[in-house]
A and B are shown apart, each in its own frame.
Chain A
Amino acid sequence: MAKSKANSKAGRTTNERTVQPDDPALAVTVAGLHLRNPTMLASGILGISQDIFARLYRAGAGAIVSKSISIEPIEGYRNPTIVSLGSNSYLNAVGLANPGAEAFSKEIAPSRGIPIIVSLVGSSDKEFPPMVQKFDALGNVIGYEVNLSCPHVAKMGMEVGDDPEMVSRIVKAIKAGTRKPVIIKVGIGAADVVKIAKVAKESGADAITAINTIRAMTINIETGMPVLSNRIGGLSGAAIKPAAVRCVYEISKAGIPVIGCGGITTWEDAVEFILAGASAVQIGSAIGNRWIDVFAEIGAGIKKYLERKGMKNVMEISGLAHKY
């Protein structure tokens, strides 16, 4: 069982396998970005240290998406901030903890050849251009992902992303300050996710990442108490996968490039998202259960699937499910 395997590995430096993450069969283009393979680190997971990014890249990730960076540092909520729900699913309310744009731009300034997409978060369109300015000169920053869908922080994330007018203003403000691709991360909030994706695209976004965690909570029944200090957080992992596949499918059918995210744990999950229309996939919660080897495992699984189906490149299967 995956669970007991993960447990037995916990705490040990695993022998991260040597892989060929540059296999031409796995190369993809999304939002104008050429990636060596479609497996990206999802924002919010392991996302603040350049040394860790280097390790993840060595382990086979195609690109890194940082934790969401704000103009000022954020300490985040008090623990518990992350709760394991079992079955490869988690609830978190970290509270967008991050070192802030200034410190993070220094963190990633030594390039080391790792492609980084900086995730940005803010409460209004005015907060984004000064952050873009701090990162745009860095050659290793290949683009931006804008977190308009974190479901548990007041006046940020989803509270902004539910407002189509604000979404449009933010996309335009960022696009005005950079020639690098801008990806908007959407989620399941009060507004229709497909509508928000369309607004983002029409305002100039190059692609959509779908989806963020879904607003949720868990209560410990012995104490009767919510476990998260913030009480409410975001649900991630296997529990949200079918909801995420639906969003990717609908957004992609609307003709918008999509990066799939939400419960991708195995290569089969990744293939499912790509068939639904994703050009690349992001992996987060699965690292908790399957550890850093998960990038190489998923890459190798996709490669074998392509061979079995007689396909030369992973992009050939993107959106294949649309025809049925």
Chain B
Amino acid sequence: MPINIDINRIRVVIIDKIVHETPTVKTIVFKDRLSSEAKPGQFLMVWIPRGEELPMSVMVPDRKDKNNKDSAALTIRKHGYGSTLLFDKRPGDILGVRGPYGNEFKIGQNKKVLLVGGGTGLVPLMRLARKLNSNKIDTTIIIGARTKEEVFFERMANDLLRDTRHQVIVTTEDGSYGEKGYATDAMARLVDGGKQERSRKNAKFDCVYTCGPELMMKKVYDLAASASLPVQASLERYMKCGIGICSSCCIGDQLVCRDGTIYNERQLSTMAEFGRMYRDKSGRRVPY
């Protein structure tokens, strides 16, 4: 493979394996060196030939898989046209990928962190968890789901964080598994009520990382702000180019594909559209 590979050109990959996470969620594993080296939070533009092209965060392959060198994965929930096409793929089928694109979750000097994820928003947090584990960072992760059968990545999270102090909290909206309520309810219990000390030295967490539905992330941001906690949130917007020229993904003066997708609390505080509105395919602003 040439050293100076152009990440913007589509690379054809073959699906090695498909893992059923829930009745509506699958993880697709394939080999691609650049994708396998993606940083936590980076995404690929995934081409489903004669179907769609979707921005998708890069998932980690199961470490217990033999022969997983250069492997990367995508986790898809079927809900629309493109995601259903991808969900219905089988081992041996062909996909195209380009990227990885976007910035990454930064660990910096953080020692104790909180991860709050919902649905396939957990994907970049899993990649982050792997890095937190190798850096021996104390990690609490809240996995939010609607109901028991939609919970996934609980075992994966425990496995990825095996070498560091960690806690995996699962919440379900109907209380059928784990704690009852939203992921943000669990977060409120952890950081609210004066337990989150103002002094960083005694603080329970140094930073909150989040990815999931935007209204959930807005709530995470608000809770973190009230506890004076730094936040890093991975935003999602409709994308076409992935390289900062089409403007489909803009939020304020930011191009989520190229400037983001990850923004800190200071940047989020200036985004009038965050948690309030998004642009549809035509570019019109629509309230959440």
Contact = CB atoms under 8 A, between A and B. Distances in A.
Given A48-B283, A223-B49, 18 more contacts: A3-B6, A11-B101, A11-B104, A11-B258, A45-B247, A46-B247, A46-B250, A49-B247, A54-B253, A79-B82, A84-B9, A86-B6, A103-B282, A220-B12, A222-B12, A223-B96, A288-B244, A291-B244
B6 A82 contact: no
B172 interface: no
Interface in B53-73: 53-54
B49 A7 contact: no
B246 interface: yes
A13 B283 CA distance: 22
Contacts of B244: 10, 46, 287-288, 291
Interface of B: 4, 6-10, 12, 42, 47, 49-50, 52-54, 81-82, 94, 96, 98, 101-104, 240-241, 243-248, 250, 252-255, 257-260, 279-285
Interface of A: 1, 3-4, 7, 10-13, 45-49, 51-52, 54-55, 67, 73-76, 78-86, 90, 94, 97-100, 103-104, 220, 222-223, 225-227, 229, 284-285, 287-288, 291
Contact of A284 (B49, B53, B245, B280): B245
Contacts of A98: 282-283
A287 B245 contact: yes
B245 A223 contact: no
Contacts of B282: 73-76, 97-100, 103
List 10 A-B pairs, minimum CB-CB distance, nearest first: A84-B8, A79-B53, A51-B253, A48-B283, A73-B282, A80-B53, A99-B283, A75-B281, A82-B241, A11-B103
Contacts, number: 145
A12 B283 CA distance: 23
A12 B253 contact: no
A44 to B, nearest CB: 8
A83 B243 CA distance: 10
Given A97-B283, A288-B243, A291-B244, A222 B94 contact: yes
